[in-house]
Structure 1
Amino acid sequence: MVKREVVQLITPGTQIDTGAENAKDNNYLTAIMSQDDGESYDLAYVDLATGQLQVTTLASFDELTNEIINLQTKETVLPAEINLEVTELLNKLGILISHNANQEVNSATSYLSQNIDSEGQKAVLAQLLEYVRATQKRSLDHLKKAVAYEPNYFLEIDHNSQYNLELTKNIRTAKKSGTLLWLLDQTKTAMGGRKLKQWVERPLISRDAISKRQEVVEDLLNHYYERNQLTDDLIKVYDLERLASRIAFGSVNGRDLIQLKTSLEQMPKIRHALDSFTATSLKKLSRNIISVDDLVDLIEQAIADEPPISVTEGGIIKDDYDKQLDAYRDASKNGKQWLANLEAQEREITGINNLKIGFNRVFGYYIEVTKANSSKVPTERYQRKQTLTNSERFTTPELKEKETLILEAQDKSQSLEYELFVKIRDTIKESIDRIQQLADIVAQIDVLQSFASVSEEYRFVKPELTKQHEVKIIAGRHPVVEKVIGHQKYIPNDILMPEKTNILLITGPNMSGKSTFMRQMALTVIMNQIGCFVPAESAVLPIFDKIFTRIGAADDLISGESTFMVEMKEANNALQHATSNSLILFDEIGRGGTATYDGMALAQSIIEYDHNNIHAKTLFSTHYHELTTLESELPELKNVHVGGSRTKWRTCLFTSH
């Protein structure tokens, strides 16, 4: 009888092996619970492949919507009772809804939640982790302690703005190509690629943190040869985060351990390379690269250099690692030599030159003789075992005896090898925390060297961070457009917004580059606040807290919203939530399905409200040339005009003066 049971339930959110093409993407499983007020929500998410576990509290349904879309989750775990609008949202987005009423807090959940203070966040973590435990039915030792985060700790970019700015997904193709992430990604490891995507989606608002990253990028730029050595070492590092998860899950094989050994062997080299730099942050990262020589030595001594994929069929453990295993192997090897000698002996005795000794799993070892030579078989010694179309198979008493010894040695050898492999795997499992710590350090280093490489290749410059409310970008460029069409074809332009100039009213013909110019401004801000250099000859930038965009014409007919309604909702979102430290991009407000004078009045009222109440840095493009008279009425507004060529992507800006 064979015991049959479900050993693991694989769902869209718990899938680990997503393929090499998605190695730089996270696969998040989320859980949501509404708080007692019915308006705020606790949200937790986990990536089982990397061990990342985070939790937050969102103050409104709009914030929840934004977070769910940005995480690109494929599955969400809900309690038995949840607001109807949450399920409607998930159904509209095509996200699988799973239910888990059990919020039992066990020792594993308590350990992972120990740094969380909020009871609501602890509850949603319990709901998520219990679902993972119930579906995966195995150890989750690779999960990191839950980290609570606040979306407003980062530069806030809602999902519409991320979409319009094409940060990680191309609007036309829905692919990575043609996005800011695509431009910046010169990472050498899968971990670095995932970290870069996280940084692009969550730029910093801490001046000190931004400065530290840019200091590292500058140091890497100034040490070309040392940086090249560092990248050479990074190339040899495999995906430590996912290797750690497979070790914890018990699905790791011999080849995975060889990849782990190769990766860990690079750590002293990476640390030595980092010691060549002067940036304080790099020195700190270098000090945090802990020794893992014990793991490297264990794998080196135990695992074959080219192990098979299977861990149960032998050949995975090196000779001289275990005396008992060596004894079994010796018995098996000598037995096979005895079989070769027997074959030669029987050929000589019988005179059958094509006699051979073979093996299969059903009949074991046998002596095979062709039908043409069957008359030469010594029937007093040979016992018929199997009859085939063209041959007969026999055995002898001494072959039977030796068969038992050989097969017993082989079976015991394979069984012992698997036991030894499991012990080695469990020993490494105890060091998962060390492996994950190294993975995080390598990912950070990889992203920063990527910033340096991109900045060097495309002539980006280190921006000056100012505490004043001014923007001064000299000879700025749209980095993605420039990469696509070539440096020679893109004409740089200036963006000058002094302390008292908060709104640029942009006019110009169709296809002149107004939208490109506006996106260029936003991408420059984002690149600055993720710690990268920016595409310009020089740049002085403040720290922005939020970015809002209303670019392009699009409807949302599934929700029954016209182009005009979508436009108004996005504009309203900006006016309701922007601060004086925000960046707003309004493109052709008032043209989406409204009459000319209605649209003009709408555009003017939005400009005046922004000018008089918000004072955010705003780029407002329009075809309503009548609005240029506002410059004489609104002291914080300046007119600029874009003149360009569709074929040459020439973008020239000058003031109305």
Structure 2
Amino acid sequence: METVTMNDADTPLMKQYKKIKSEYSDCILFFRLGDFYEMFNEDAKLASKILGLMLTKRQQSPMCGVPYHSALTYISKLINQGFKVAICEQVGDEDTKTKLFKRKVIRVITPGTIIEENLLNSKSSNYLCALVVDIVGWGMSWLDVSTGEFYSINNLDDKNFNDLNSLISRVSPKEVVADSKTIKFLNDNRINFFRDNIYEFHCDFSSEPAWSNEPVWQNNKLALKASMLALSYIKSVQPEINAELKPYYYDDNKTLKLDESAIKTLELVEPDYDGGHSLFDVIDNSKTAMGSRLIKKWILNPLYDYYLVNKRLNAVDYFYQNDEAVEKLWDEISRIADIERVSGRIINMTTTPADLIGIKNAIKRLDDIKKLLNENGFVSVIPEVVRKINSLDTLKNLFKLIDEAIDENSSLKVGEGELFKKGYSADYDELKSLISNSQGIISGIEQSERERTGISSLKIGYNSNFGYFIEITKANISKTPENYIRKQTLTSSERFITPELKSIEEKILSASEKIKKLEQSLFREIKDQVLLSLDELMEYSSCVAYIDAICSLAYTARKNQYVRPEIVSDDIIEIENGRHPVVEQFLPPQSFVSNNLNFNENLRSIILTGPNMSGKSVYLRQNALIVIMAQMGSFVPADKARLGLVDRIMTRIGAHDRLVRGESTFMVEMKETSSILKLATKKSLILLDEVGRGTSTFDGIGIAYAVLEYIHKNIGSKVLFATHFFEITKLAEKYDGVENFNISVKEWVNSKGKTEISFLHRVVKGSADKSYGVHVAQIAGLPEECIKRAREILNKLETREIDLNTTTNVLPLFSSNPLIDKIRMIDLNKLTPLDALNILNELKKEADE
């Protein structure tokens, strides 16, 4: 038996460890020793801190470990911290000379290559991204090894990498790898989409896979290289993979573009704060994890294709109208295991017996699903799905194999000698019979020896030191036969063995060992057979996911009283009594105040004013969400909706988490606004909330005015522009196609003579005449002294004579003389004599000009 000693740093065991560790220096090595995974040296120091383990030390070598049966709990903590974990297992018998087991790393677990079910979010994909960039353009692949989903794309016309940034935001990879040239290019050009979470990996691009000869890959070489990089990395960390993974070329031109800002500010798939709710939370009512993951993909990748949008809407509409048939179909779908993720484990050859039972039960429902689809006219709206389901009869052979082999009533663990049904393997049955009858055989020998010796108290026992033994009490020692061999003397008895007993023992014990090895061998053969059906299983899982997702959208539409949007070719957005799909769910029934929106060729920009807390941001977001829902193929929360396709939704709302990257609120705001001005088209929808608020009032007004004017004159996008700068409302007087709207407020004086307000949340034409900021401050609980002082200052400011009328094309400021404004802003109490001279010099220069 292998012994663990640290008395000598150069023991065979430590030499073995150091050799393996040198090959995986970028990983924390989990080194299997018996029932534990041990870590040594720097790995032990690091892991002990993160995992809260006790650090021991033997001969100056730090060491810590975790039980193998609970290792995943510890591995998940390391993965969440961004570390890679190499799993080193005992893979052979003990060497008789060195007393060492053969060991090797069977896989490396990284954030983007997780396949363990309890380390994954069942409702989210887990993508590894591979990126290749050169002077021509970029190629990107993303692969979810837990499901086998694999896509690749390249772009030769994205100089500023805006489309790449958008795609990365929508894919949201857990891990990104790139070749050395790409890393250098990104560093030289200061491009950091990945917040430094990108890793260099070498790939031999000269050895192209067989499928690379297809025209789509020969015409998209950067996509091909990105795919090869992803595959090379996967095979380096998961060498057990046998299946050939092949990517699909992804057409991003048929997708409504969403960037990181839009995804976060609209709270599409994750809430903006703990305890919040996202659009995904509201519209995902899927009954399988496969359906949930597909809904999430649809939300992040709405369609930009008239035919495809209406095709999906037709399916949802049909499911909406035929709820009785759909309910039966959905019930069958709900009973199917996550065979998409099981397919991932088939690829990685880590399939478990429980996975096979899940596959068997899924195939068992295939005929019922097929019957429901064919009998209820579903072929008219989801013909591809029905056709695929009808073509999966070959899976019945797999069902038969699993059904005849695996015993569902066993522990469903390989190596315990009880996994396979009787009749599957004659050798297995023989060994199992020997083991199961062993007690009877021993009892028979015991009875025979009692009769032969005349010792009625004779008994046969077992211990791990010397196996089976015959025990005779001291009172009957004189009756002991000559062929008995003494093994142990106890206080009141003696223990003996016989050659016959040892022979039976050898057969029984070797049978236990043989059946474990045979069971492992038979299960490997079954996994090989299952691998042959991988394509059919993946087809099946995609059909189940699609049906489940459509069922979910139809159910949500019925439950939340959504309507089917009309998709038109005109460049319009007409929404009648639209509602925010998330906010309305957490208010009393019928209490959400709905509002209209009517963008057309005659109205392109809406300036929205009104007090804080009145619902401006909700109005902006709800209209963007309705567009996204419509283009993903969902019904929408409104009484009526007619929409022309939108190519891009861009938002400037809040600063999100980018403040932690060392960027000020205003810098974030300006970068996002700059991106909008560069990328927006006439078909885009833009949401701008309080542009310019992060700087001084004059600068803010100037920037806000100029931004909206630029979009309206030069781009023509549909713009919802919320602001507290009333000066911006003058644009509606200057340009056709710009109109003012405000959130209405009811104001009255109560019986105590105190002014009170109520937010009606209704969007009406015209600009707001007050901001009601002091009232909001009062509601928020500011001291009465502060409120009183604020009103005094507000009254003084409002009674100043400010001339906003001008005939020039320049934005009017608060004074007709900019020099006077600058002088007013000088704080004399903080000026040094030198500062005063410098300011005076600058003012004189401006005056001379």
Same fold (TM over 0.5): yes
Residue 71 of structure 1: aligned partner: 171
TM superposition shift of 1:150: 3.9
Q: Which moved more, 1:128-137 or 1:209-218?
A: 128-137
Which fold has the larger relative contact order, with Cα–Cα distance below 8 Å and residues 6 or more apart in sequence?
A: 1
Residue 193 of structure 1: aligned partner: 292
* CA distance in 2 between partners of 1:137 and 1:610 (Å): 53
Residue 477 of structure 1: aligned partner: 579
* CA distance in 1 between partners of 2:124 and 2:494 (Å): 58
Deviations 1:291-314 (A, max 9, x none): 111111111111111343432332
Residues 1:638 and 2:739 aligned together: yes
| 283 and 79 in structure 1: CA distance in 2 versus 1, 3 angstrom threshold | closer
TM superposition shift of 1:84: 4.4
* CA distance in 1 between partners of 2:319 and 2:410 (Å): 38
Residue 53 of structure 1: aligned partner: 150
User: Is contact 1:343–1:357 with CA below 8 Å preserved after alignment?
Assistant: no
Residues 1:621 and 2:725 aligned together: no
User: Is contact 1:74–1:96 with CA below 8 Å preserved after alignment?
Assistant: no
| 484 and 62 in structure 1: CA distance in 2 versus 1, 3 angstrom threshold | same
Residue 591 of structure 1: aligned partner: 693
Residue 251 of structure 1: aligned partner: 350
* CA distance in 2 between partners of 1:91 and 1:494 (Å): 37
Residue 653 of structure 1: aligned partner: 763
Residues 1:505 and 2:607 aligned together: yes
Match for residue 234 of structure 2 among 96, 117, 132: 132
Match for residue 430 of structure 1 among 532, 550, 553: 532
User: Is contact 1:142–1:245 with CA below 8 Å preserved after alignment?
Assistant: no
Residue 294 of structure 1: aligned partner: 397
Q: Which secondary structure does the structure 1 equivalent of 2:496 belong to?
A: strand
TM superposition shift of 1:536: 0.8
The one-letter amino acid paired with 2:295 is L
User: Is contact 1:563–1:593 with CA below 8 Å preserved after alignment?
Assistant: no
The one-letter amino acid paired with 2:731 is L
Match for residue 654 of structure 2 among 545, 552, 559: 552
* CA distance in 2 between partners of 1:438 and 1:649 (Å): 52
Structure 1: gaps spanning 5 or more residues: none
* CA distance in 2 between partners of 1:491 and 1:5 (Å): 64
User: Is contact 1:467–1:542 with CA below 8 Å preserved after alignment?
Assistant: yes
User: Is contact 1:33–1:43 with CA below 8 Å preserved after alignment?
Assistant: yes
Residue 358 of structure 1: aligned partner: 462
TM superposition shift of 1:186: 1.0
Percent identical: 33
Matches within 5 A, 1:335-346: 335-346=438-449
Residue 331 of structure 1: aligned partner: 434
User: Is contact 1:167–1:200 with CA below 8 Å preserved after alignment?
Assistant: yes
TM superposition shift of 1:120: 2.0
Deviations 1:618-648 (A, max 9, x none): 1111112233233232211121111369999
* CA distance in 2 between partners of 1:111 and 1:250 (Å): 27
Residue 543 of structure 1: aligned partner: 645
| 85 and 390 in structure 1: CA distance in 2 versus 1, 3 angstrom threshold | farther
Match for residue 171 of structure 1 among 272, 277, 293: 272
Structure showing greater radius of gyration is 2
Q: Which moved more, 1:476-485 or 1:112-121?
A: 112-121
Deviations 1:266-318 (A, max 9, x none): 22222222224435232431221121111111111111113434323321111
TM-score between both structures, scaled by the size of structure 2: 0.71
Q: Which moved more, 1:647-656 or 1:487-496?
A: 647-656
* CA distance in 2 between partners of 1:106 and 1:157 (Å): 33
TM-score between both structures, scaled by the size of structure 1: 0.91
Q: Which moved more, 1:97-106 or 1:216-225?
A: 97-106
Residue 546 of structure 2: aligned partner: 444
TM superposition shift of 1:30: 1.5
User: Is contact 1:57–1:150 with CA below 8 Å preserved after alignment?
Assistant: no
Matches within 5 A, 1:55-454: 55-58=152-155, 59=158, 60-84=160-184, 86=186, 93=195, 95-107=197-209, 110=212, 115=217, 117-141=219-243, 143=245, 145-173=246-274, 178-279=277-378, 280-289=380-389, 290-291=392-393, 292-346=395-449, 355-358=459-462, 360=464, 363-367=466-470, 378=480, 380-386=482-488, 393-454=495-556
* CA distance in 1 between partners of 2:214 and 2:425 (Å): 37
Q: Which secondary structure does the structure 2 equivalent of 1:168 belong to?
A: coil
CA RMSD of aligned residues (A): 2.9
Matches within 5 A, 1:559-598: 559-595=661-697, 597-598=698-699
The one-letter amino acid paired with 1:611 is H
TM superposition shift of 1:51: 0.9
TM superposition shift of 1:460: 0.7
User: Is contact 2:183–2:200 with CA below 8 Å preserved after alignment?
Assistant: no
User: Is contact 2:488–2:494 with CA below 8 Å preserved after alignment?
Assistant: yes
* CA distance in 1 between partners of 2:440 and 2:396 (Å): 39
* CA distance in 1 between partners of 2:594 and 2:479 (Å): 93
Q: Which secondary structure does the structure 2 equivalent of 1:640 belong to?
A: strand
Structure 2: gaps spanning 5 or more residues: 1-94, 96-100, 747-755, 768-849
Residues 1:43 and 2:140 aligned together: yes
Q: Which moved more, 1:89-98 or 1:458-467?
A: 89-98
* CA distance in 1 between partners of 2:648 and 2:500 (Å): 84
